[in-house]
Structure 1
């Protein structure tokens, strides 16, 4: 088995009997190099399976044309759509995106930041993991003068530009809608984690109850990781109460789906006996039976704006720009799971 190291421009130069600098210029489409030489260099590079050293190029030019994007998980429609929105802007500017997943794991998030810095990315766009309470790894990015923009899950502990939807308003409008449909005993599925989006959704829930003079009942607020199985278990807890709720508003569509499964298994009518609403407008919500009322987070728009903000920071360089907080207005998507009237 061959033990030859990675092919370099010097290998191409030796094969063609030209200088390494000529090879470099040809690979970068320098107008001073003839078309014949460029063609020969590209052909030889392909034959030798030459792979450019992006880190070395970044050191030479001061740019890698790569952005690191960190999401808690890439298999959620919301995060995938935000990434799509980011790529729409980045690709038009000839930038590539590296997508990394933290899996809501703090240590993984720290390691990912370190790997992206070592890869010489031009900047980082991130949504903070549920379990992150120490932000030193993000402060390290800032200390190196590398642009950092946060989206969706953000924190006020970092002086950075942020893009989010108005989670409070989305939650308030959902609970208000349930009240207008005649619901008075409204449960809420939330997260125990100190993540801004869930705190704001809980605040919207409690404020809507207060404004409509409905007493807050802590038994009706169930904390979990908001996955499908969590929704199932949370619904089972609510059904054990002396008086079951007449509505459930979940801070996650997945937990709402779990609740729906349990209600259907027990022949509890939706929405006649229990109205049900979620949050995020995942694709499956329009196909459930009945279709699920939810809140659309305008994910592609969020990705577009996040990328635009990033490039504003990047172009400003050392001059910098004042950190901006962009809050998008959510849209309540009303479907049959809550329509009693």
Structure 2
């Protein structure tokens, strides 16, 4: 046999049969006897045969592959969403190809092109922070390939979407802080023009307004919302000597950075300053103090996103785009409790949501 990857023709030659018979046997065609199937599978294993998924997709029109694009896979939120997607996809004999954009626009464009070249049956994606041009996603739609966006979406595309109610999550969190007696609430947000941060800022503003608390732009800190950004934002507030009694961060990572800086300055949490984040990252349960946060229902979001995708795959791309909005859950922990409640707080096992993945 010639060197290189084994093909169905190589298997056919070894078994003195036709390539079409080998192909049918590998695809479990009922027209092929069990004895022949066993021979073909045995020889395929001996020759280390690997199926050509692209060629198969060209023949059948289905690759049984779904491309999933996330900004980063090392965040609990995105990895949990992927877990939910895979639970549904694997039950339907579909495989998931996971790609990361690393928040880079060019990388996101290249990833979409690669997935299209791989003949995936459709694409599920969460848009990167730096994406403002959506032509690469429009190309997917123009080709008639199913596309579903989750979490980070855009109004510039006629596409099915699955999100949580970011506005409601932020609104409920700020309402909670106000009920704890807070009136000067710092908000960490992002300058990036993506939906989640705009909606969380809107929820923050409306909660203040409904409680007669004036909006103060000096309490708004913009950054990329990573841990170090949270440290810098908190230090900036302290350096400006602005009076504040709470921090609501649109990211758990940034609020963790704020906690580090406050501790370095001997500020007591929650007695002097109360804090809350967004995302329910695993470390929020185990930090000291544990962090009040908003659970984004990431695994359910993945399942609903996959179900939306398969409904679209079944009905065709002419179906009307659907937007599904999931309700988040505010999880109250030590970082925002009043001193009295802080002393008597009991942990609930539900606080461990998504932390096992």
TM range (shorter): over 0.9
In 1, Cα distance between the equivalents of 2:205 and 2:24?
Answer: 64
2:151 equivalent in structure 1: 152
1:74 aligns with 2:69: no
4-13 vs 157-166, which moves further: 4-13
Please state how far the C-alpha of 1:3 moved relative to its aligned partner: 8.2
Please state how far the C-alpha of 1:243 moved relative to its aligned partner: 3.0
2:319 equivalent in structure 1: 321
SS of equivalent residue, structure 2 residue 268: coil
2:344 equivalent in structure 1: none
Q: Normalising by structure 1, what TM-score?
A: 0.97
Deviations 1:77-112 (A, max 9, x none): 111111111111111111111111011100000000
1:36 aligns with 2:35: yes
2:230 equivalent in structure 1: 231
In 2, Cα distance between the equivalents of 1:243 and 1:61?
Answer: 65
SS of equivalent residue, structure 2 residue 124: strand
207-216 vs 195-204, which moves further: 207-216
2:125 equivalent in structure 1: 126
In 1, Cα distance between the equivalents of 2:241 and 2:230?
Answer: 20
In 1, Cα distance between the equivalents of 2:29 and 2:53?
Answer: 18
1:90 equivalent in structure 2: 89
2:114 equivalent in structure 1: 115
2:139 equivalent in structure 1: 140
In 2, Cα distance between the equivalents of 1:232 and 1:119?
Answer: 42
Please state how far the C-alpha of 1:40 moved relative to its aligned partner: 1.3
SS of equivalent residue, structure 1 residue 162: strand
213-222 vs 117-126, which moves further: 213-222
1:46 equivalent in structure 2: 45
2:216 equivalent in structure 1: 217
1:311 equivalent in structure 2: 310
Please state how far the C-alpha of 1:241 moved relative to its aligned partner: 2.1
1:295 equivalent in structure 2: 294
SS of equivalent residue, structure 2 residue 334: coil
Please state how far the C-alpha of 1:283 moved relative to its aligned partner: 0.8
Please state how far the C-alpha of 1:5 moved relative to its aligned partner: 2.6
Equivalent positions of 1:140-289 (< 5 A) are 140-289=139-288
Change (3 A) 1:272 1:3: farther
In 1, Cα distance between the equivalents of 2:301 and 2:156?
Answer: 21
1:12 aligns with 2:11: yes
2:348 equivalent in structure 1: none
1:333 aligns with 2:331: yes
Note the residue ranges of structure 1 that are not aligned, 5 or more in a row.
none
SS of equivalent residue, structure 1 residue 332: strand
SS of equivalent residue, structure 1 residue 149: strand
Say what the alpha-carbon RMSD is for the aligned residues: 1.2
1:61 equivalent in structure 2: 60
In 1, Cα distance between the equivalents of 2:316 and 2:322?
Answer: 16
In 2, Cα distance between the equivalents of 1:261 and 1:199?
Answer: 26
Deviations 1:217-253 (A, max 9, x none): 1111000000000001111001112333110000000
Deviations 1:255-290 (A, max 9, x none): 000001111122110011110100000011011111
In 1, Cα distance between the equivalents of 2:243 and 2:108?
Answer: 40
In 2, Cα distance between the equivalents of 1:242 and 1:294?
Answer: 26
SS of equivalent residue, structure 2 residue 202: helix
- Figure out how many residues of one structure are paired with residues of the other and give that number: 339
143-152 vs 37-46, which moves further: 37-46
Please state how far the C-alpha of 1:127 moved relative to its aligned partner: 0.4
Deviations 1:134-173 (A, max 9, x none): 0000000000000000000000110011010000010011
In 2, Cα distance between the equivalents of 1:126 and 1:208?
Answer: 31
Please state how far the C-alpha of 1:14 moved relative to its aligned partner: 0.8
In 1, Cα distance between the equivalents of 2:156 and 2:202?
Answer: 20
In 2, Cα distance between the equivalents of 1:112 and 1:6?
Answer: 26
